[in-house]
Amino acid sequence: MAKPDITTLGALKKSDYRPRSIKQELRENLIAKIKKNESIFEGIIGFDDTVLPDIERAILSRHNILLLGLRGQAKTRIARLMTQLLDEYIPVVKGSEISDDPLQPLSRFAIDLIEKMEDETPVDWVHRSQRFVEKLATPDVSVADLIGDVDPIKAATLKLSYADERVIHFGLVPRAHRSIFVLNELPDLQARIQVSLFNILQEGDLQIRGFKLRFPLDIQFVFTANPEDYTNRGSIVTPLKDRIESQILTHYPKEIDIAKAITDQESSIAAEQENSILVSDEIRTILEMISFQARESDYIDDKSGVSARLSISALENLVSAAERRMLQNQDQSTSVRITDFWGVVPAITGKVELVYEGEQIGPYAVAMHLVDEAIKEFFLDHFPDPDKSQKLGEKDPYGITRAWFASGNHLDLLNDDNEKDFRTKLDQVQGMDQILNGRTDNHEMKYLYKELILHGLAAFEVIGKNILDSKFSFSDPLAGMFDDLTSGEDI
């Protein structure tokens, strides 16, 4: 829609424009979208039955909103998408610092200008994308930043006394008049600063350096907070919390498929990578299982959360690990392998907060443990549990492979093995074709599953696995023990 061609107050009065509050504007536009069955929060996945209905109910109730959840749960994105429920353009008094409505002016500037120019008062139009103000709450945020202060330079320039309200320099909140104002990490805001928001939320007063202005600001407030910050690093003062009408809890994806959809949507994969590198659904599932394992791990602080950004960064690293190998071997294409997960460690270590036990073994070891646990879980989804098979006295499905390694054979899978060498090595391990037993007719998947069998058996200590520099070495678990004993005798 093009910007309206109305440029004066007189022309605006003759149009069909009628003032309405931003909360009423959001409410009416939401109602229209619901009636038309239109998508409201495009790109938000996994909240259809939980968070989004609560958001819609809050908007219909004309409430200010507190989004409470751990990091990486799309709180800020939801707030930004609320701008899509605003009118495309709204009229403002041209030159106004606070986007005054020409038919309902608030600031002294707009009131004086309309009194002077009447119907010739110039009118401008503001797009909805400009009606979004965001501030990260930090301990150094001041009342002047949020509310405003007296500006001595303005007083000197305009030759006004400090008793004239025109010397006020408005802060972020007044400048968000007729807009959505998002204050992120609210508990980090000092209590005395939170107090400055009381009257704005309830009575509409502004108090700036002795000026008490009846200033009915029209703002849709959206606050965000992390539950951990809420209790430890700070708190939301009770009177302020009482004035925020709707508190909505966000959450992480509850299902692997939802997590995969989020990662696919948010990851940045280059076009040439997509064309030359196959990332199978099995690999994507293992990748998401890492995040799920991290959220349950005893080594990681569950109160700090494990952001969805872990999976997003990990997928990008995973594809790049396969691309690097492909380029080194001058191959035209390749598939992501399980050994490529070694390359996602940097994406994991920077996304998790370790508890004491995790710090003791170190971030690298924790990251590798999460990868191993994810592979182990995925292995059990597709193959029999080696421990249970033996306990039940059943025929060991892994007997041939176990015997092959027990005979002194070993297998070294290099991170940078070319396709031919990689497949040749896997094919030499006896018994794996019988384990697969027609589970897949896809030639590419055959080698992925063979690699999975090795890592799975290693997870259950049926065979041994060592990570040495840039290779995974699989062998009989007792071989390494005897080697250690032998080397000890030599000493």
Distance CA 137, CA 192 (A): 13
Ranges of H-type helices in 118-151? 143-146
Q: Report whether pLDDT(181) > 60.
A: yes
Alpha-carbon Rg for the chain, nearest whole angstrom, is: 31
Mean pLDDT of 189-214: 72
Q: Report whether pLDDT(391) > 70.
A: no
Cβ atoms of 336 and 318 within 8 Å: the answer is yes
**pLDDT: is 326 or 195 the higher one?**
326
Which of 197-201, 275-279, 389-393, 427-431 shows the lowest per-residue confidence on average (mean pLDDT)? 389-393
pLDDT at 205: 61
Strand partners, 211: 208
Cβ atoms of 334 and 423 within 8 Å: the answer is no
Distance CA 292, CA 392 (A): 30
Distance CA 232, CA 128 (A): 37
Distance CA 402, CA 156 (A): 87
Cβ atoms of 222 and 67 within 8 Å: the answer is yes
Ranges of H-type helices in 267-355? 271-276, 281-296, 309-328, 345-349
State the chain's mean pLDDT as an integer: 87
Distance CA 216, CA 205 (A): 7
Residue of 174, 183, 151, 160 lying closest to 97 (CA atoms): 174
Q: Report whether pLDDT(207) > 80.
A: no
Q: pLDDT per residue over 287-308, tens digit each?
A: 999 999 999 999 998 888 899 9
> pTM of the prediction?
0.84
How many angstroms from the chain centroid is the CA of residue 100? 35
Q: pLDDT per residue over 8-49, tens digit each?
A: 999 999 999 999 999 999 999 999 999 999 988 999 999 999
Q: Report whether pLDDT(483) > 70.
A: no
Distance CA 155, CA 240 (A): 33
Residue of 244, 286, 270 lying closest to 449 (CA atoms): 286
Ranges of H-type helices in 119-180? 143-146, 152-158, 172-175
Distance CA 101, CA 14 (A): 15
Ranges of H-type helices in 329-412? 345-349, 356-361, 363-382, 386-391, 399-406
Cβ atoms of 250 and 73 within 8 Å: the answer is yes
